[in-house]
Amino acid sequence: MGDLSSKTGWWAWSTKKKVLIFGTVALVIVALGVGLGVGLGIGLRNSGDDDSDNDNDGTGSGAPNTTTPTNTTVKWQPAVGTKWQIILKSGDGAAISTSVDAPIYDIDLFDNNKTVISDLQKMGRKVICYFSAGSFEDWRNDAGDFHDTDKGEDLDGWPGEKWLNVTSPNVRKIMQARLDIAVEKGCDGVDPDNIDGYDNENGLNLTKSQAINYVNWLASQSHSRGLSVGLKNGGDIIDSVIDNMQWCVNEQCAEYKECDTYASFIQADKPVFHIEYPKGESTNDNKSVTTSQVKSACTANSSGNFSTVIKNMGLDNWVEYCS
Ligand SMILES: *[C@@H]1O[C@H](CO)[C@@H](O)[C@H](O)[C@H]1NC(C)=O
Ligand SMILES: *[C@@H]1O[C@H](CO)[C@@H](O)[C@H](O)[C@H]1NC(C)=O
Ligand SMILES: *[C@@H]1O[C@H](CO)[C@@H](O)[C@H](O)[C@H]1NC(C)=O
Ligand SMILES: *[C@@H]1O[C@H](CO)[C@@H](O)[C@H](O)[C@H]1NC(C)=O
Ligand SMILES: *[C@@H]1O[C@H](CO)[C@@H](O)[C@H](O)[C@H]1NC(C)=O
Ligand SMILES: *[C@@H]1O[C@H](CO)[C@@H](O)[C@H](O)[C@H]1NC(C)=O
Ligand SMILES: *[C@@H]1O[C@H](CO)[C@@H](O)[C@H](O)[C@H]1NC(C)=O
Ligand SMILES: *[C@@H]1O[C@H](CO)[C@@H](O)[C@H](O)[C@H]1NC(C)=O
């Protein structure tokens, strides 16, 4: 229950933060363009490529930054355009509703038990299990396993969540245990969130190359357990991880005009599970959105074959699809 409101807070934060980031990126681009003239392209490329650093940690298995798939025997590759539903919370704390007819469900790893997952699968559905891989959440039952030194700044606007040091062997050990839970519960795949701390004030000096290493590591850990995996947001690192991903989950690319970036998944024959939140931060009701809101969510450039859902930020059962 705490999680419902907090999740709402996090999404809300995420939206505001994105606006901020956009402003910053625009400023940086302007500064580079003005200051360096021709150097713009080179400057941006270098910042993405600069090191492959440090991340071979004690728990090992720091996957190399490679575009070679970590495991060519991935069990489940969903098709482009597959309809999906994401429901992290029920409205009232009871079991999630399975009433929406969609062949893929993305549900919270911790808040749903094995029975809920196998019931979905008996209905012919695949189940993706959501967890936060890049933030500490103080209400989870493994919260005590994190070291204080693993934690960075609070996720702004959402007390109880802190950015994590994704190079920490301890963090990685905890994530391996979470992947083991996903296996034990019978999930078909996982949706590891918050891998883009580098794009936020995180207090840990997280870098893009650390995120690339982490996401590729999560992929190899998932694949070796028979789980499929997708990239959550993280548009800047797509090229360095896409070969190891079976899909991506994107929030608000239509709102922020970023759908072109994520369309590289479609070109690679991998679905883009795309969420828009036209109601904004604080409205979580069962009402339809307007025709023009549907149009904005569903007709963004390059989003033609995306698997788009229009959702409340609370990620409850309510959903609208593009017609
Ligand atoms: C699984 O969760 C559902 C819904 O919350 C509950 O009704 C059921 O008793 C649980 N089953 C087990 C085995 O814990
Ligand atoms: C993150 O973890 C790595 C590996 O343990 C460590 O070397 C590094 O100092 C940590 N970063 C911070 C900011 O504490
Ligand atoms: C982050 O980098 C800055 C500049 O190099 C340094 O002063 C600061 O101590 C670093 N912070 C952490 C948590 O490592
Ligand atoms: C690849 O994944 C399969 C399960 O899908 C697993 O049995 C196998 O051990 C994995 N191989 C490697 C090298 O990780
Ligand atoms: C990772 O590999 C990709 C593809 O070869 C490359 O574009 C990217 O720059 C690499 N990233 C790092 C941090 O080495
Ligand atoms: C939306 O509908 C669900 C049942 O589908 C109900 O549990 C929930 O309370 C409703 N929410 C609102 C805000 O009316
Ligand atoms: C879509 O692409 C066209 C042509 O490239 C461009 O003129 C238009 O502004 C774009 N629209 C949006 C919403 O990005
Ligand atoms: C979607 O994919 C189909 C099949 O590849 C293609 O023919 C069609 O042009 C695509 N639609 C859009 C809007 O990109």
Distance 118 CA to ligand 1 centre (A): 11
Residue 245: inside a domain, yes or no?
Answer: yes
Q: How far apart are CA 245 and CA 218, in angstroms?
A: 10
Q: At what angle do helices 208-224 and 169-185 cross, to 10 degrees?
A: 40
Residue 6: inside a domain, yes or no?
Answer: no
Overall pTM surpassing 0.75 (yes/no):
yes
pLDDT tens column, 264-278: 999 999 999 999 999
Residue 256: inside a domain, yes or no?
Answer: yes
Residue 213: inside a domain, yes or no?
Answer: yes
pLDDT tens column, 162-205: 999 999 999 999 999 999 999 999 999 999 999 999 999 999 99
CATH of the domain at 231: 3.20.20.70
Residue 281: inside a domain, yes or no?
Answer: yes
Distance 284 CA to ligand 6 centre (A): 9
pLDDT tens column, 138-155: 999 999 999 999 999 999
- Strands of 158-164's sheet in order across: 135-137, 158-164, 151-155
Query: Which atom of ligand 2 has the smallest separation from the CA of 169?
Result: 5
pLDDT bucket at 40, cuts 50 / 70 / 90: very low
How many of the other CB atoms lie within 10 Å of CB of 40? 14
Q: Looking at the 3D structure of the chain, how many domains does it have? A: 1
Token digits of residue 268: 């690679």
CB contact at 8 A, 293 and 284: no
Ligand 4 pocket residues where CB is under 6 Å? 71, 73, 75, 223-224, 226
Ligand 2 pocket residues where CB is under 6 Å? 57, 149, 165, 167-169, 204-205
pLDDT bucket at 95, cuts 50 / 70 / 90: confident
Residue 54: inside a domain, yes or no?
Answer: no
Range of the domain at 118: 84-321
Residue 174: inside a domain, yes or no?
Answer: yes
Residue 168: inside a domain, yes or no?
Answer: yes
How many of the other CB atoms lie within 10 Å of CB of 52? 12
